[in-house]
Amino acid sequence: MSSHYEAPIRRPLIVGDKSYHDITVEVAAPVEGKANKLWWTAFTIALVAFLWGLGSIIYTIGTGIGVWGLNKTVGWAWDITNFVWWVGIGHAGTLISAVLLLFRQKWRMGINRSAEAMTIFSVVQAGLFPVIHMGRVWDAHFVLPIPNQFGSLWTNFNSPLLWDVFAISTYLSVSLVFWWTGLLPDFAMLRDRAVKPFQKKIYSLLSFGWTGRAKDWQRFEEVSLVLAGLATPLVLSVHTIVSFDFATSVIPGWHTTIFPPYFVAGAVFSGFAMVNTLLIIMRKVSNLEAYITKQHIELMNIVIMITGSIVGCAYITELFIAWYSGVEYEQYAFLNRATGPYWWAYLLMMSCNVFSPQFMWSKKLRQSITFSFIISIVVNIGMWFERFVIIVTSLHRDYLPSSWTMFSPTFVDIGIYVGTIGFFFVLFLLYARTFPVIAQAEVKSILKSSGENFKKLRDGNHE
């Protein structure tokens, strides 16, 4: 038992009297069972929203970007807001699977699979926006440096928008292989349990013939560690580069050096909130409360509280620096943000992102599942408004007062946004029914150190 020692002060990460086989059965249950009414209802709603969004996208492509609410002053609005929002949400998955792996945090194992799934699905949503904003979607491949008949006219590697192309595609593809490599042993588990021939076929295809040899596990662990080491700077670079889209411009309110760390903290903040939103529901619906415990939710709440406070610090720093810089344009941009026509958006952002996470200082509140769920939604709303505030309030009153204007979204803007939420949930709901949603192989490896029954057995011996 000595090799599985863990300090008694650490709370168990697997609740109940579980054996290895129990973990297998309980992780496989949602895949092997039938979907209930609730799943079908949620799936139908998500599918309808997705189809509405698809229609809006087709309408945009067919008619042109003019169907959006953009005007000559506000040339970027909901599209880029949604883009940054979705990319930000994606960050928590990588943070959980990579950064927490490097820090040897065992609590990542209950939640990393779903968090990574969320990452991939939300980066897919994010990627849609720049592509459809191109207008001529069929020329999308021109963002890649491929030889062409124009001489060759290459892409501009000085542009942050091109950095974004590289950052987002590297991020999406690396997250995907990280996720898939981790999935192999769990798909193999489903494959070896499958009774229906079709299921067996699908899962053997997906598991790449994983057999669990000692050498494979050794390589698997090394690959996971190195991928975590690569993904950690990658995830930080992605949102840094997203912030460069703004920070390298000369727009007051955007041209600030604080943007990269501030965006990264905001991304982690919103991402953890989304993980909480999804997992609080999933642990209940899929009966995984023993693996995604209250302890997991509490720890995520602490991350939300800390990153929310970092974001709050960044807001205040921005205001101070605007005043301290002595630059009138900069000062006006911030004054206008807080007290101009979009004051309500600013207030919403401040209260959702800075004020609401402070409740998590209270142990009672951060251990409450209902309260955590509410806060997670509030934070997601707040972070959407943060991007909206940064983007629209900096643009709508530019250097020429004669072109000052407001932005209002059209039904197409709203449709596309709602559509991506629908698309996200379509993917996530399908995932929840067909994938092993807990990294069961990894969870088994911590059962003896962090399982409630084993901890009791061991700690009892010390007394």
Partner 1 sequence: MSNKVVQAMYNDDDILMDAVKETRAANHHIEEVYTPFPVHGLDKAMGLKGTRLAITAFMYGCVGFSFAVWMMNYMMIEQWPQDIGGKPSMSFFLNMPAFVPIMFELSVFFAAHLMVITFYMRSRLWPFKEAENPDPRTTDDMFVMEVAVEGDEAALVSFLEKTGTVEIKVTEKH
Cβ atoms < 10 Å from Cβ of 204: 17
**In the complex, minimum distance from the CB of residue 151 to partner 1, in angstroms, rounded to a whole number:** 7
List Cβ neighbours of 245 (8 Å cut-off, separation of 6 or more): 80, 160, 161, 164
Residue 338 lies near partner 1 (rule: CB under 8 A): no
**In the complex, minimum distance from the CB of residue 396 to partner 1, in angstroms, rounded to a whole number:** 24
Residues 14-33 that bind partner 1 (CB under 8 A): 19-21, 24
Q: How far is it, in rounded angstroms, from Cα 252 to Cα 262? A: 16
Residue 272 lies near partner 1 (rule: CB under 8 A): no
List Cβ neighbours of 12 (8 Å cut-off, separation of 6 or more): 293, 295, 450, 451, 452, 455
Cβ atoms < 10 Å from Cβ of 179: 22
Centroid of chain to Cα 394: 25
Q: Which tokens hold the place of 60?
A: 């945009």
Q: How far is it, in rounded angstroms, from Cα 391 to Cα 427? A: 29
Q: What letters, b where the CB count within 10 A reaches 16 and e where it falls short, cover 27-56? A: bbebbeeeeeeebeebbeebeebbebbeeb
Residue 370 lies near partner 1 (rule: CB under 8 A): no
- The region of 83-91, 115-123, 217-225, 317-325 touching partner 1 under the rule CB under 8 A is 217-225
List Cβ neighbours of 436 (8 Å cut-off, separation of 6 or more): 27, 28, 31, 113, 183, 186, 187, 189, 190
Residue 95 lies near partner 1 (rule: CB under 8 A): no
Residues 241-260 that bind partner 1 (CB under 8 A): 241, 244
Residues 341-360 that bind partner 1 (CB under 8 A): none
Site track 34-73 with partner 1 (rule: CB under 8 A), x = hit: ----------------------------------------
Q: Which is nearer to partner 1, 141 or 364 (CB)?
A: 141
Residue 154 lies near partner 1 (rule: CB under 8 A): yes
Residue 199 lies near partner 1 (rule: CB under 8 A): no
- The region of 6-14, 37-45, 93-101, 210-218 touching partner 1 under the rule CB under 8 A is 210-218
Q: Which of 233, 287, 324, 339 binds partner 1 (CB under 8 A)?
A: 233
Residue 228 lies near partner 1 (rule: CB under 8 A): no
Q: How far is it, in rounded angstroms, from Cα 441 to Cα 453? A: 18
Q: How far is it, in rounded angstroms, from Cα 131 to Cα 47? A: 22
CA distances for 389 relative to 142, 265, 267, 386, 396, angstroms? 31, 17, 15, 5, 10
Residue 184 lies near partner 1 (rule: CB under 8 A): yes
Q: Which of 231, 297, 432, 437 binds partner 1 (CB under 8 A)?
A: 231
Candidates 339, 321, 341; CA nearest to 330 is: 321
Q: Which of 71, 73, 105, 155 binds partner 1 (CB under 8 A)?
A: 155
Residue 219 lies near partner 1 (rule: CB under 8 A): yes
Residue 230 lies near partner 1 (rule: CB under 8 A): yes
Residue 148 lies near partner 1 (rule: CB under 8 A): no
Residue 163 lies near partner 1 (rule: CB under 8 A): yes
Q: How many Cα atoms are found within 13 Å in the side-chain-facing hemisphere of 383?
A: 32
Query: By the 8 A CB rule, do 410 and 51 touch?
Result: no
**In the complex, minimum distance from the CB of residue 86 to partner 1, in angstroms, rounded to a whole number:** 19
**In the complex, minimum distance from the CB of residue 264 to partner 1, in angstroms, rounded to a whole number:** 14
Residues that bind partner 1 (CB under 8 A): 1, 3, 19-21, 24, 145, 151-160, 162-163, 166-167, 170, 173-174, 177-178, 181, 184-185, 188-189, 191-193, 204-223, 225-227, 230-231, 233-234, 237, 241, 244, 441-442, 444-445, 448
